[in-house]
Structure 1
């Protein structure tokens, strides 16, 4: 059986899924920028349980429509289950936007896609603004500063505005406090610019030296 055909009546692997959150650990929210990750986890889970065609039309061919009463009943059961998987892995805010009567898993899936695609540009602008103005002085320690900077870069990638390694490292250096200016200058003068984790290690060593 493939994902592009209707399952034969009888036991179906999707019916054995007890808790969807054990398989899709990301809870999709409007403000967490994890839509691409949620989609990746969800589609992989759907594919492994032979229900991918309930949310994504196959690239080749047309899915076989259920013909018998048993096949129709199974299709409706599986579609309701996939729809339930969606509902159980989104926040209440998104649930209120997407829930409607007499819908299907594919309609809801497409509605979510449109919702997040419309939101990408505004999210990218907000994230880029924060990224370009991040300052080490606003954080309790260097580690918190690095983590926030990397988080912003990851979120920008998720909304289709990836940050290059050079820009990430240079932005990190530009926001350093005076105590880190020497090591910041060394990082800037490297050719090529070190990768983010190497630069972070250099600053972490400096932080340890300052602590002593």
Structure 2
């Protein structure tokens, strides 16, 4: 699952449990050492820690931080990596071939990569996508490719 989809699901979940303010920094302790607030904040941190990969956990796990700090740290990791991720995804899209996939599976693979590129604000123009699509088809589709190119 891509980061933006994960983020939306996590925010929806945290909203339904009325703790979304902990990741948005809208919730603050009522007084110093507000135990109820700290418990809820720790709960939100546990949710985050429980669903990220071990390598991400190693990068975001710090002592004495709030859920908001963990949340923004995670987002920073994903956003800072956008350009290299866009290059990698575009390369995958350019080199994707039909191979043993069905046309439906091939198009679904392309759609997933396109969604990921769109999520990191690097959408692919329709003419470019068309070129990638037909370039990845096998020789048995040469007649269709010829028609489509003209």
- Shorter-chain TM-score range: 0.7 to 0.9
Q: What does the per-residue CA deviation read over 1:158-190, in whole Å, with 9 as the maximum and x for residues that have no partner?
A: 22211244432332112222210222234445x
Does residue 56 of the first structure (1) align with residue 24 of the second (2)? Answer: yes
165-174 or 110-119: bigger deviation: 165-174
Aligned-pair RMSD on alpha carbons?
2.2
In structure 2, how many angstroms separate the alpha carbons of the residues matched to 1:122 and 1:171?
20
Counterpart among 181, 184, 207 of residue 142 in structure 2: 181
**Alignment check: 8 A CA contact 2:44 2:67 kept:** yes
In structure 2, how many angstroms separate the alpha carbons of the residues matched to 1:179 and 1:68?
71
The residue aligned with 2:30 is 66
Q: Could you state the TM-score of these two structures normalised by the residue count of structure 1?
A: 0.63
Off by >4 Å, runs of 4+ in structure 1: none
Note the 1:164-203 alignment, pairs <5 A.
Answer: 164-189=125-150
The residue aligned with 2:75 is 113
Greater CA radius of gyration, 1 or 2?
1
The residue aligned with 2:3 is 35
Counterpart among 43, 48, 61 of residue 99 in structure 1: 61
The aligned length equals: 149
- How far did 1:157 drift? 1.6
- How far did 1:46 drift? 1.3
- How far did 1:117 drift? 0.9
Q: Could you state the TM-score of these two structures normalised by the residue count of structure 2?
A: 0.86
In structure 2, how many angstroms separate the alpha carbons of the residues matched to 1:157 and 1:85?
27
Give the structure with the larger helix fraction: 2
Counterpart among 35, 42, 47 of residue 80 in structure 1: 42
In structure 2, how many angstroms separate the alpha carbons of the residues matched to 1:142 and 1:131?
16
SS in 1 for 2:24: coil
Q: Where does structure 1 lack aligned partners over 5 or more consecutive residues?
A: 1-25, 27-33, 190-212
The residue aligned with 2:106 is 145
Q: What does the per-residue CA deviation read over 1:14-36, in whole Å, with 9 as the maximum and x for residues that have no partner?
A: xxxxxxxxxxxx6xxxxxxx111
Change (3 A) 1:76 1:178: same
